[in-house]
């Protein structure tokens, strides 16, 4: 099957990496566009796309248009292209926002183009990292019926695993992604802060706790989240939990609510695993909620 000619509009980390991977998979990147001259120069090297004067000129050259701008610009860029006549029957238009739905591409759809959203469930720190990490990642797809097979083919050509998400569920899907990545980083930053409080430097702190984190991630990968829970809540060790609450209140009180709330969720996992009794779980819950004298 002949592969599409593609325009990439927005040469940030995701657009550049996706363009590079599609080119490697045999697609022709016929045009690229971005407001930044540096992004255009870098993106052209990765994708091989011809630099266009703007989004409309890029869209006119391709039969599939990937709008990979920041989320807040997707709708306006799409409308700009639509006003200029860049969309019509036979064109495919995709955006790669995690939370945004098909409505961002409504101006393209009104002019006869087929639309979809494709989002890699991956973190984007730098272009080389994205290129390396995207293969093997799950991609959410939200698409009209006639676009689903095409979107699946694109995802598989990127080395990804397709997963369909309804338009209404995209914000929830993306919230979970943020918790898995952004909030994990935030949690690790909190842990680093505690070890800094104990006198470690930043790099030293990460080296100290990282083997524990790495081992936990391996456990989750191999056994799932429920069976990977260990520690005082899983054991029902009330004395240790009491000590934790006391020292956190005294030294890093800004983390107290985080410890309490995470503990309550961990408690539910412990109950599912049958690692503690209902009575002991009730005592821990009361303690975490701050009802008992700690």
State the pLDDT at residue 19. Answer: 96
Distance CA 1, CA 154 (A): 13
CATH number at residue 254: 1.10.1040
DSSP β-bridge partners for residue 5: 28
DSSP β-bridge partners for residue 93: 65, 115
Asked which of 148, 165, 182 is the last residue of a domain, the reply is 165
Convert the pLDDT of each residue in 172-190 to its tens digit. Answer: 999 999 999 999 999 999 9
Q: 86 and 214: one domain? A: no
Q: 10 and 154: one domain? A: yes
Q: Is residue 9 part of a domain?
A: yes
DSSP β-bridge partners for residue 116: 94, 143
DSSP β-bridge partners for residue 118: 141
Packed helices 278-288 and 256-272: angle between N→C axes, nearest 10 degrees: 170
Residue 91: which domain range?
5-165
Q: 18 and 159: one domain? A: yes
Q: Is residue 180 part of a domain?
A: yes
State the pLDDT at residue 82. Answer: 97
Convert the pLDDT of each residue in 63-114 to its tens digit. Answer: 999 999 999 999 999 999 999 999 999 999 999 999 999 999 999 999 999 9
| Percent of the chain predicted with pLDDT > 90 | 89
Convert the pLDDT of each residue in 194-238 to its tens digit. Answer: 999 999 988 999 999 999 999 999 999 999 999 999 999 999 999
Distance CA 121, CA 116 (A): 16
Packed helices 170-197 and 202-223: angle between N→C axes, nearest 10 degrees: 140
Report how many domains make up the chain.
2
Q: Is residue 76 part of a domain?
A: yes
pTM of the model: 0.89
- Tell me the mean pLDDT in the region 17-39: 94
Distance CA 178, CA 185 (A): 10
Q: 83 and 147: one domain? A: yes
């Amino acid at each position: 099957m002949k592969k599409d000619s593609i325009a990439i509009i927005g040469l940030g980390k995701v657009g550049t990496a996706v363009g590079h991977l599609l080119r490697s998979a045999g697609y022709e990147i016929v045009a690229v566009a971005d407001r930044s001259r540096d992004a255009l120069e870098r993106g052209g090297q990765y994708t091989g796309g011809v630099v266009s004067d703007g989004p409309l000129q890029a869209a006119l050259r391709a039969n599939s248009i990937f709008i990979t701008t920041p989320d807040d610009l997707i709708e306006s860029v799409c409308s700009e292209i639509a006003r200029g006549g860049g969309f019509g029957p036979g064109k495919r238009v995709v955006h790669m926002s995690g939370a945004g739905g098909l409505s961002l591409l409504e101006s393209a759809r009104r002019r006869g183009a087929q639309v979809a959203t494709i989002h890699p469930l991956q973190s984007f720190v730098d272009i080389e990292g994205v290129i390396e990490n995207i293969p093997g990642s799950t991609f959410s797809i939200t698409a009209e019926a006639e676009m689903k097979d095409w979107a699946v083919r694109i995802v598989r050509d990127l080395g990804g695993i397709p997963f369909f998400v309804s338009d209404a569920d995209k914000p929830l899907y993306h919230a979970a992604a943020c918790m898995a990545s952004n909030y994990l980083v935030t949690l690790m930053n909190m842990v680093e802060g505690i070890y800094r409080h104990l006198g470690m430097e930043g790099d030293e702190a990460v080296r100290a706790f990282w083997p524990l984190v790495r081992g936990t991630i391996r456990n989750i990968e191999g056994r799932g989240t429920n069976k990977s829970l260990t520690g005082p809540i899983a054991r029902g060790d009330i004395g240790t939990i009491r000590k934790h609450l006391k020292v956190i209140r005294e030294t890093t009180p800004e983390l107290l609510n985080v410890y309490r709330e995470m503990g309550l969720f961990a408690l539910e996992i412990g109950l599912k695993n049958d690692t503690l009794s209902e009575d002991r779980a009730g005592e821990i819950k009361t303690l975490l909620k701050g009802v008992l004298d700690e």
